[in-house]
Amino acid sequence: LLYERHGEPAAVVQLKDLEVPKLGDCDVHVKMLAAPINPADINMIQGTYPLLSALPAVGGNEGVGEVLEVGRRVRALAPGDWVIPADAGLGTWRTRGVFPEEMLLKVPRDIPVLCAATLSVNPCTAFRVLADFERLAPGDSVIQNAANSGVGQAVIQIARASGIRTINVVRDRPDLPKLVERLMALGADHVVTEEMLRKPEMKDIFKSIPRPRLALNCVGGKSTTEMLRHLQPKGTMVTYGGMAKQPVMVPVSAFIFRDVRLRGFWMTQWRKDHAQDQESVASMMDALCQLIRRGQLRAPACTEVPLQDYRAALEASMKPFVSSKQILLL
């Protein structure tokens, strides 16, 4: 799926037949199996993301493929292995591709294909924001907005597996009870709407669990300000997205009297910073694959779409209140 200019995805993305490039000594020929449509993919096509591929570009930053053939200098991969992108910008919305070996990470074949296809962005982001900003122990709590997003669902499950409680904020919507039920089934401790954050009943939640030391923000605007109220003194709020396209507003009193910390996180930057530190990448992937094998981390709710129906999938991925991720089957 190629785009030659930036613009609205359904208008600029086209399905094209291209020749598969020749296999170089350090290259890997991959047959793609499945690739999701993430918000960052849409923003890259629109030209509004901080990281843009050179045009013409193939869409997609995430997915899983099977190795068909390797160049003669390739050591770490063999035909039959499953691989995912080691970094953003790979262009995963294609049936086949030839990539340099260092652009790929091997993943075990014994995990479900949808888990592998959605592994490199959201679960990694969830893993890092839970691990890198506060030292959380079993019994501690975390509050997050956009709890039904891909990262939100992964946070719930990874936290649950570590004995950490989650307070999950979602926007009010027509099918709210159904969404609450789904998040509780994943292991959420509490699910509240943005409106509830302002209500005195929130105090009842903190009778049974401690106030959170960590807040995870993917929205911005009013949602963030309200969430911050419930953070413990000296707690940290990490912003990793801005779905409301509004700034983060923080009362001065939160800084002075509660000494809260505001941090940011971008998975792409983390990968750049750890490019030479393969051990931390491997231990994160290993931990996530173990959770998947034990049934403690599932793929987000997915809608599987054949590649030729890509336009409908792109449009569906941009609708509000969508809790299901569009996955292109390649």
Catalytic residue positions? Answer: 49
Separation of CA 159 from chain center? 15
User: Which residues contact residue 270 at a Cβ distance below 8 angstroms, ignoring those fewer than 6 apart?
Assistant: 128
Could you tell me whether strands 325-329 and 27-36 are parallel, antiparallel, or unpaired per DSSP bridges? antiparallel
User: Which residues contact residue 33 at a Cβ distance below 8 angstroms, ignoring those fewer than 6 apart?
Assistant: 63, 64, 65, 66, 82, 113, 116, 117, 329, 330
**CA distance linking residue 309 with residue 244, whole number of Å:** 28
What is the 8-class DSSP label of residue 66? E
Q: Is 263 left (phi over 0), alpha (psi -120 to 50) or beta?
A: beta
**CA distance linking residue 283 with residue 117, whole number of Å:** 19
169-183 b/e with 16+ CB inside 10 Å = b?
A: bbbeeeeeeebbebb
**CA distance linking residue 300 with residue 123, whole number of Å:** 10
Residue 40: other Cβ atoms inside 10 A: 19
Amino acid, res. 319: K
What kind and span of H or E run contains 236?
A: strand 236-239
